[in-house]
Amino acid sequence: MKRNIIVNLHVVNNAQWFESVILYLKSAYKIVPLSAFENLGNSKNLCAITFDDGDLTFFDIAFPLLKKHNVPAAIFVSPQSIAQRENFWFQEVADYDLDKFAEIVAQETKIPYQVAKDAGIHAVLKSLPIEKIHHLVKEYQSATNTPPKEFRNMDLEKIAEVQRSGLISIGAHTLTHPILANETAEKCEHEIVNSVTDLEKLLGQAVRYFAYPNGAFGLDFGRREMDILQKAGIKIALSTDPNFVNRKADKLSLPRKGITYGNIRHIKMKILLGKKWNLLRNLRKPSEAKRRGIVKKNLLFVPS
Ligand SMILES: [Zn+2]
């Protein structure tokens, strides 16, 4: 008997790969809707499949295969991104030039050029509140004549089609994808509560599930965020901590195993090893959490 897992994906670029993942998970687990994790009881061998961000590739590649194999899944989306056709910040910066970016960061923040360069674009931005992130992205765009990218998430029509299938649960993922731990209490509450209520209006049904942006407990969110979600009526909130789900796990911080790429052997190992896999991967270069720590120290530094 295998332990229960929730797996997590974002972008799915390859249909053949994704179909092999479905077939593997189907052969090794009982694939269930996320609702099965609300009351686990003594169930074993369950697997729920989740996708964060509402990327277009979910609609174009993953969704048809989920329907073909009659496999349930959950997606976590932002009602603001859907209604206003707005990309998330990390979708904009994906191919930005690090040298230029570090220059702009050094001009606009307390983070020195070399620190920003060593940390990398994502580690710098994940250390900042969302308003600062959006400001830096705009500064980069105007300094380099880089236009915002074409909208790359599902729009209203596509979300409606996904909802009509009855196969996919739709949960909230904040409004603008901030790292919630970097925000004030007020902003944090707004990002969570409004993503739930706005999504409910958009779907015309209650929203029971939520996924934390980035999703590491203690780094990206904590007790404060879990309390807000509880008050907002959320039944399950998902982290990205790569553990198995046991019966006693806190429903407002259920772990998930990321399976973004790699062949089935690689995915099996990743599921089995969890945190140990990340430790092995980080042997060669400092983890993003470590690089974010260095950036944050610089932000706190006040010259005497
Ligand atoms: Zn996300």
Q: What confidence tens digit (pLDDT) does each residue in 60-104 have?
A: 999 999 999 999 999 999 999 999 999 999 999 999 999 999 999
Q: What confidence tens digit (pLDDT) does each residue in 117-162 have?
A: 999 999 999 999 999 999 999 999 999 999 999 999 999 999 999 9
On whether both 162 and 247 belong to a single domain, the answer is: yes
DSSP state of 248: T
C-alpha 121 – ligand 1 centre gap (Å): 16
C-alpha 288 – ligand 1 centre gap (Å): 16
On whether both 228 and 131 belong to a single domain, the answer is: no
Query: How many CA atoms are closer than 13 Å to the CA of 121, on its beta-carbon side?
Result: 18
Distance of CA 194 to the CA centre of its chain: 18
C-alpha 304 – ligand 1 centre gap (Å): 38
Q: What are the beta bridge partners of residue 8?
A: 50, 258
pLDDT interval class at 55 (50, 70, 90): very high
C-alpha 24 – ligand 1 centre gap (Å): 25
On whether both 80 and 92 belong to a single domain, the answer is: no
Domain of 300? 88-150+283-304
C-alpha 212 – ligand 1 centre gap (Å): 7
The residue with tokens 């694939």 is: 31
* Domain harbouring 70, CATH code: 3.20.20.370
Please report whether residue 269 resides in a domain: yes
On whether both 260 and 124 belong to a single domain, the answer is: no
On whether both 172 and 58 belong to a single domain, the answer is: yes
Please report whether residue 278 resides in a domain: no
C-alpha 303 – ligand 1 centre gap (Å): 35
* Identity at 274, one-letter amino acid code: G
On whether both 185 and 262 belong to a single domain, the answer is: yes
Please report whether residue 36 resides in a domain: yes
pLDDT interval class at 199 (50, 70, 90): very high
Q: What confidence tens digit (pLDDT) does each residue in 183-198 have?
A: 999 999 999 999 999 9
C-alpha 54 – ligand 1 centre gap (Å): 9
C-alpha 116 – ligand 1 centre gap (Å): 22
Give the residue from 49, 59, 36, 80 showing the smallest Cα distance to 208. Answer: 36
The average pLDDT across 252-276 equals 90
Give the residue from 45, 134, 126, 131 showing the smallest Cα distance to 92. Answer: 134
On whether both 11 and 79 belong to a single domain, the answer is: yes
On whether both 180 and 65 belong to a single domain, the answer is: yes
Query: Can you spell out the DSSP letters for 55-69?
Result: BHHIIIIIHHHHHHT
Give the residue from 126, 129, 124 showing the smallest Cα distance to 114. Answer: 124
Please report whether residue 12 resides in a domain: yes
C-alpha 76 – ligand 1 centre gap (Å): 8
Which three-class secondary structure state does DSSP give residue 210?
A: strand
